[in-house]
Amino acid sequence: MSHQSPEDLVGHWKGAEAPLLPLLHAFQERDGYIREQALEAISQGLRIPLADLFAQVSFYHHLTLEPDGWDAPRVCDGPVCRQKGSKALLNALPGARPMACSGRCDDPIPVLRRGQLTVGLEAGGLQTRSSPLPPPPPDGVRECVFAKIREPDRATLKGYRGTGGFRGLAWALEADPDALLERLDQSGLRGRGGAGFPTAAKWRAVRDAEGDPKVIVCNADEGEPGCFKDRALLDHDPWAVIEGMLCAAFATGASLGFIYLRYEYPETYGLLEAVLEEAHREGILGEDALGPGRAFHIHLRRGAGAYICGEETALLNSLEGKHPFPRNRPPYPVTHGYRDKPTAVNNVETLASVPPILHEGAEWYRGLGCGEHSGTKLISLSGDIRRPGNYEVPLGLPLATLLEDWAGGPPEGRRIQAVTMAGLSGGFLDARDIAEVTLDDPSIRARGSFLGAGGIIVYDDSRSMRDAATDAMSFFADESCGKCFPCRIGTRRLLERLEGSAGPTAGAEWVDEVKSIGEVMQQTSACGLGQAAPLVTESLIRRFSEDVGWKHEGADPS
Amino acid sequence: MTTENVFELDGRPLRFEDGETIFEAARRAGTAIPSLCYDPRLNAFGGCRMCVVQVEGIAKPVASCTTKITRDMVVKTTTPKVERLRKTLLEMVLSENPDRQVSADRGLAASEMNDLAQRLGVRRGRFAGATSGKSRPEDDNPFILRDYDLCISCYRCVRVCAEREGDYALGVKGRGFATQITAGFDRALGDSTCTYCGQCVQTCPTGALGDKQIMRFESLSAAPETTRTICPYCGVGCSVDLVTKGDRLVGVRPAMDGPANKGALCVKGQFAYDFVQHADRLKTPLVRNEAGELTPASWDEALDRAARGLTESIAKHGRKSVYGVASGRAPNEAAYAMQKLMRMLSGAHYIDNCSRA
Ligand SMILES: Cc1cc2nc3c(=O)[nH]c(=O)nc-3n(C[C@H](O)[C@H](O)[C@H](O)COP(=O)(O)O)c2cc1C
Ligand code: SF4
Ligand code: SF4
Ligand code: SF4
Ligand code: FES
């Protein structure tokens, strides 16, 4: 692309849907950074005010305004990579900068440079390799979304067709949207991106809303530290996600689709580009995708390094080329989504669950859970555990069974001290919780946490939980978008108190300030980031009081 | 279920308009819910969260500025819980800035945050830590002080510039606690699309933006007085409040209730008032003497001279040799009289108005 003039590039994207992010990436790839002339050309072409454009570029971690900024290696400095020595790797690579958890916690430390991803533990040992497949489940465990993922060639169209692909969609096309929604309703499927909203209800709301075109957005931003399940699905079973999106389009009457993929998954990007190209070529997508005259198109868009863009309304703003603050709700995306059109935003795992449910039936899906719990959940397991990776567990499975029996327990000679829930957003559970809790929302919520997107990071007894909490809060402080006061100020103040760099450093006063800030954040923040972040400090105080330090002062936490 | 638009605010029934927010309806009814990011002229933003209230049936408090009322909604604006949350939140906000008092002269809303702190009985001292905004003393434009050490990231400036002024000069750089307000490519206001309308200054709730013109007179000890009048510059007729200290005109403020401008002004009306008491200001007409120098004259002399010049020119060079331009500051009636004069005098249509440009 290096020969293309700014006008050519802008002209190429100008008429396209959601043109801003691809244009910014194209300029960054052409010039090694984003030059002011590029912003001027984009501003004119897309009619976005310069000040706004500049501000947006400064928001995204992976867009850079410094000459050759794109050249600097970004080393994952997420909580799991810190356990593996990311700080040493950062020091060893010249010009390296830290990046937030980049979703490869079941591999050595990921390093991103000029849009290429390598993994390794040492500067000399960085290599390119495909992302790990999920480990096989224990004997007798039945899976839904991972059932076919380990089949050879599953990621190819031929392989997908040969292993039962498109049977869910075929069933739906034979039946009708009502039957589809009915089956999904009965399956009890809820959103797997964190909020757990019933999928059928969301799709019905989009179907019933006024507006055209209707839009399906696959949320593949997967920014929560310790979560890498969507990566596994997209890398090894991409057609299942496409099929899920087609089912969503059929159910809602949508004709426009997007996959919003995080920037830190470059191989996935290449793979999805090829998959979408093939799908359009083969007529799986396109003007007659859902029958004669029933169009469905999917556009692939990359984020640029911002956890908040996984929040569905910030994601929509990002797609639309607006500052990626979350929107005020209501109205919700189901009525006012992408460009104010009715929009279903769904997580990758949610979408991939739909085809098997439609094909096998609601009863079958419900029956995959333990006891009264229906269905399965992908869990990304990482940290101090022998077999990290993605596991599809029946909802209601005892957490201890997953940790000890499925994943081999802690490293030799160690004891599990704590785990996180919902990546980092659910805070920490301690050994007693681990012995008692089952993997389903009622059980986890009863302990003041939540399952969320299903990331679990394990800390053995060699770790300091105060350090773990500090790492977690530094993530939230870096990712707070800055729209609302409680989170913008609160994440920073909590981080300072965990680091001991400002405010009271110990004692009852420390606990009092931390709890007051936490309450304000949890009760008044505008989105889930600020509401969840104080679970980190709350669970630290409640469960790991020794680590907090007040006990040594003889103060009373309550 | 009632069939009318009625909801309950702090135990009393209140009517509401379709689409009205809790905050607006409460304001109308005389209940001032605390706020920092609210400006009635702007789209509700929902950033400061000071305006949280409790709504029956919803577990967490909601931001009243973005929550539309529904029929039979039961709203409580002063529960112990929301009052505690607001106080703690305001303590957090105070902690992000250095402890520095600034003059209320800086802008119309410059004391808003401090007044709110007083009203809620909140003082500084809790939640020590880093400060957020960074002032831009190097921006030496003559009109707007950018003292962002006092900024609380309410983005009212950014939003008023975009939503009301349509100049889109400002942006929100970075994110989270590191957020900074920038102009254009993060340089001086003069290098951006700013037109120095002053709207951002007047909406800033902390004095982080200051009117440098009025600040020149901060040391005058007389109490400021305001006088409502109309901006003298153009035919739009923006309402302004002139601020005087003793007999000195120290500043101009837009009138939020001005029917033509609703709080807006342009750079001239907002900042260019020094001519009023300027030593060089003309106080009599001037006419040229034999030597071609301008000398003071009476109005009669000056008008006679003008009439003579016009008629002589027409006599000598024809009717198309004269051209009349009405001042944009002239009211309609005067502009009408001007064109009438020109048509009667010369019979030509060479007539214009400076506002047309
Ligand atoms: C801070 C934040 C980050 C989020 N990140 C993601 C994400 O990366 N992927 C995702 O699917 N959902 C994410 N969500 C949840 C989305 O807002 C939304 O609920 C979800 O995409 C809906 O899809 P589902 O109903 O299929 O779960 C995030 C929410 C918040 C508050
Ligand atoms: S809670 Fe945090 S991330 Fe969410 S809107 Fe507020 S500042 Fe942004
Ligand atoms: S003075 Fe007016 S144009 Fe300039 S930044 Fe402020 S609001 Fe925008
Ligand atoms: S400068 Fe003033 S108006 Fe602008 S964001 Fe800061 S405090 Fe708000
Ligand atoms: S006034 Fe409602 S959030 Fe600021």
Q: Which residue ranges have their beta carbon within 6 Å of ligand 5?
A: B 35-38, 46-51, 63, 65
Q: Please state the atom number of ligand 2 nearest to the C-alpha of residue A481.
A: 8
Under CATH, what is the fold of the domain A6-69?
Answer: Arc Repressor Mutant, subunit A (1.10.10)
- Please report the ipTM that was assigned to this predicted complex: 0.94
Ligand 2 centre distance from Cα of residue A105 (Å)? 25
Which of B50, B176, B193 lies at the smallest CB-CB distance from A480? B176
* Residue (of A101, A82, A311) closest to A217 by Cα position: A311
Has residue B38 got a pLDDT over 80?
yes
pLDDT in tens, A174-187: 999 999 999 999 99
Predicted local confidence at residue A554, as pLDDT: 42
Residue nearest to atom 6 of ligand 2 (CA): A484
**CB B198 near ligand 3, within 6 Å:** yes
Predicted local confidence at residue B357, as pLDDT: 52
3-state SS class at A360: helix
- Token pair of B42 as six digits: 């702007």
Sheet arrangement for strand A416-420 = A389-394, A376-383, A455-460, A416-420, A428-430
Average the pLDDT over A306-329 and give the result.
98
Has residue A557 got a pLDDT over 70?
no
pLDDT in tens, A474-483: 999 999 999 9
Segments of chain A assigned to CATH 3.40.50.11540? 157-364
Has residue A548 got a pLDDT over 80?
no
pLDDT band at A292 (very low <50, low <70, confident <90, very high): very high
pLDDT band at A555 (very low <50, low <70, confident <90, very high): very low
Ligand 1 centre distance from Cα of residue B57 (Å)? 25
**CB B199 near ligand 4, within 6 Å:** no
Enumerate domains of chain B plus CATH numbers. Answer: 6-78 (3.10.20.740), 96-215 (3.30.70.20), 223-281 (2.20.25.90), 286-353 (no CATH)
Which of B89, B182, B185 lies at the smallest CB-CB distance from A485? B89
Under CATH, what is the fold of the domain A465-553?
Answer: de novo design (two linked rop proteins) (1.20.1440)
pLDDT in tens, B154-204: 999 999 999 999 999 999 999 999 999 999 999 999 999 999 999 999 999
The whole-angstrom distance between residue B156's C-alpha and the CA centroid of its chain comes to 12
Query: Which residues on chain A are in Cβ contact (under 8 Å) with B191?
Result: none
CA distances (Å), origin B57, targets A112, A202, A205, B65, B82:
47, 22, 22, 18, 15
Segments of chain A assigned to CATH 3.10.20.600? 369-460
Query: Which residues on chain B are in Cβ contact (under 8 Å) with A478?
Result: 176
Residue nearest to atom 28 of ligand 1 (CA): A311
3-state SS class at A87: helix
Answer yes or no: are the C-beta atoms of A205 and A335 closer than 8 Å.
Answer: yes
Which of B52, B89, B130 lies at the smallest CB-CB distance from A492? B130
- Which ligand has its closest atom nearest to the C-alpha of A198? 1
Which of B129, B184, B185 lies at the smallest CB-CB distance from A492? B129
Say whether B127 and A493 touch across the interface (CB within 8 A). Answer: yes
The CATH number assigned to the domain with range A369-460 reads: 3.10.20.600
The residue of chain A nearest to residue B178, with distances taken between CA atoms, is: A482
Strands A376-383 and A455-460, sheet pairing: parallel
Segments of chain A assigned to CATH 1.20.1440.230? 465-553
Query: Which residues on chain A are in Cβ contact (under 8 Å) with B187?
Result: none
Report the length, in residues, of chain B: 357
Predicted local confidence at residue A551, as pLDDT: 45
CA angle A498, A503, A507 (to 5 degrees): 75
3-state SS class at A497: helix
Q: Report the CATH superfamily, name and number, of domain A157-364.
A: NADH-ubiquinone oxidoreductase 51kDa subunit (3.40.50.11540)
Segments of chain A assigned to CATH 1.10.10.1590? 6-69
Answer yes or no: are the C-beta atoms of B254 and B246 closer than 8 Å.
Answer: no
Q: Which of residues 258-287 of A touch B (CB under 8 A)?
A: none
Average the pLDDT over B138-163 and give the result.
98
Ligand 4 centre distance from Cα of residue B156 (Å)? 6
Average the pLDDT over B236-250 and give the result.
95
Say whether B47 and A59 touch across the interface (CB within 8 A). Answer: no
Answer yes or no: are the C-beta atoms of A477 and B177 closer than 8 Å.
Answer: yes
Has residue B34 got a pLDDT over 90?
yes
Q: Please state the atom number of ligand 4 nearest to the C-alpha of residue B207.
A: 2
Predicted local confidence at residue A3, as pLDDT: 59
- Which ligand has its closest atom nearest to the C-alpha of B203? 4
Query: Which residues on chain A are in Cβ contact (under 8 Å) with B81?
Result: 523
Has residue A22 got a pLDDT over 60?
yes
**CB A530 near ligand 2, within 6 Å:** yes
Has residue B47 got a pLDDT over 80?
yes
Has residue A44 got a pLDDT over 90?
yes
Predicted local confidence at residue B105, as pLDDT: 93
Predicted local confidence at residue B328, as pLDDT: 80
pLDDT band at A149 (very low <50, low <70, confident <90, very high): very high
Say whether A50 and B95 touch across the interface (CB within 8 A). Answer: no
Residue A557, Cβ density class (10 Å: 0-12 exposed, 13-18 middle, ≥19 buried): middle
Query: Which residues on chain A are in Cβ contact (under 8 Å) with B68?
Result: 330
Ligand 5 centre distance from Cα of residue B130 (Å)? 24
Say whether B184 and A58 touch across the interface (CB within 8 A). Answer: no
**Per residue in A81-120, is it b (16+ CB within 10 Å) or e — as a string?**
bbbbebeebbeebeebebbbbbbbbbbbbbbbbeeebbbb
Answer yes or no: are the C-beta atoms of A62 and A304 closer than 8 Å.
Answer: yes
**CB A528 near ligand 1, within 6 Å:** yes
Has residue B1 got a pLDDT over 80?
no
Average the pLDDT over A242-258 and give the result.
98
pLDDT in tens, B3-21: 789 999 999 999 999 999 9
Average the pLDDT over B210-225 and give the result.
95
